[in-house]
Amino acid sequence: MSDFEQHEPTWSGVRRGPLRAGEWVRLTDAKGRRHNLCLAEGATFHTNKGALQHDDLIGRDEGFTVTSAGGGVYLVFRPLLSEFVVSMPRGAAVVYPKDAAQVVAMADIFPGAVVVEAGAGSGALTCSLLRAVGPQGRLLSFERRQEFADVARRNVRQFFGVTADETHPAWSLQVGDLVESLPEAAAPGSVDRVVLDMLAPWECVDVVAEALAPGGLVVAYVATTTQLGRVVETLRAHGEFTEPQPWETLVRDWHVEGLAVRPSHKMNGHTGFLVTARRMAPGNPAPVKKRRPAPGAYGEDYHGPKPLGV
């Protein structure tokens, strides 16, 4: 059976209602220090302000305060996805919330979509993609390294609150190389979106083009300008993708206290670049970019692919 064929859901994770044993919660003290713990009946959580009994949390609706034996007051909520991914165990580096949000929005990940992800890393972006496609969608994640796949599987199960015997109904995780495995996992033209979070996404352009449906979209997440240039030029040279759109996102908090309203001294600066391009119908070349490159843009030192007409 294909990884994208329909199957009966076995996922029972629900992140609403009273807190239950086995769920993760986040405790925040008056100074903003955070503690994550998995609730267990009869267990005790020790803080620098004394102990807290898990039984005092289980069965209550999130959004309350609890006082430890030493008088410490803690705010209790289930962790948001944006909070979970920056504190979860890691194998590979995680895609931070500001970039994951851009991937979901700018790649137009929609409920019911068929999405391919490579690689899975630590599962941070995987959680966002699963949220977006919903239980009726399909997400097929590829990861080359077994140890990273194991971390991703544990983190996804932890966030969605499923046991080792359950799985998210939309998710399949394969250990292997995308170029070798995707043609066997997905029929040509059966994929709506492809998300490439990997070292050399330009190596996958041909198999991605084969798997994508006409109008489908590929988004690549890369860390350096060298990678950015290579993936953009490879998409152009393929000839059946629209003009690639590269960008990055910077996020800056603001300090607001009375009349003291100013930018924060800290910000989320560069984490990575994103590139999107849409698949043309097979056999239909994309219009050649009319704006000519600047003199020297493709000089003797450039060894990557060149767009048509250059």
Contact assessment for residue 180 and residue 214, using Cβ atoms and an 8 Å cutoff: no
Residue 306, pLDDT score: 67
Question: Which pair of tokens denotes residue 43?
Answer: 């267990």
Contact assessment for residue 235 and residue 243, using Cβ atoms and an 8 Å cutoff: no
Q: What percent of the chain has pLDDT over 70?
A: 90
Whether residue 119 has a cis bond before it, omega within 30° of 0: yes
The mean pLDDT of the chain is: 89
Contact assessment for residue 31 and residue 72, using Cβ atoms and an 8 Å cutoff: no
The residue written with tokens 């100074």 in the block is: 31
Question: What confidence category does residue 9 fall into, taking pLDDT thresholds of 50, 70 and 90?
Answer: very low
Amino acid symbol at 160: F
CA pair distance 238, 305, nearest whole angstrom: 9
- Please say if the pLDDT value at position 275 is more than 60: yes
What DSSP string describes 126-157? HHHHHHHH-TTSEEEEEES-HHHHHHHHHHHH
CA pair distance 308, 310, nearest whole angstrom: 6
Question: Which pair of tokens denotes residue 84?
Answer: 């979970």
Over residues 56-68, the mean pLDDT reads: 95
- Please say if the pLDDT value at position 6 is more than 60: no
Over residues 152-169, the mean pLDDT reads: 83
Using the CB atoms, write b or e for 231-267: b if 16+ within 10 Å: bbbbbbbbebbbebebeebeeeeeeeeeeeeeeeeee
- Please say if the pLDDT value at position 210 is more than 70: yes
- Please say if the pLDDT value at position 310 is more than 80: no
Query: How is domain 24-79 classified at the architecture level of CATH?
Result: Roll (3.10)
Over residues 143-164, the mean pLDDT reads: 88
Contact assessment for residue 197 and residue 119, using Cβ atoms and an 8 Å cutoff: yes
Domain limits, CATH 3.10.330.20, in the chain: 24-79
What superfamily in CATH does domain 83-278 come from?
A: Vaccinia Virus protein VP39 (3.40.50.150)
- Please say if the pLDDT value at position 161 is more than 50: yes
Residue 241, pLDDT score: 97
CA pair distance 201, 228, nearest whole angstrom: 10
Domain limits, CATH 3.40.50.150, in the chain: 83-278
CA pair distance 62, 140, nearest whole angstrom: 32
Those residues whose C-beta lies under 8 Å from the C-beta of residue 10, and which sit 6 or more positions away, are: 166, 167, 169
Question: What confidence category does residue 152 fall into, taking pLDDT thresholds of 50, 70 and 90?
Answer: very high
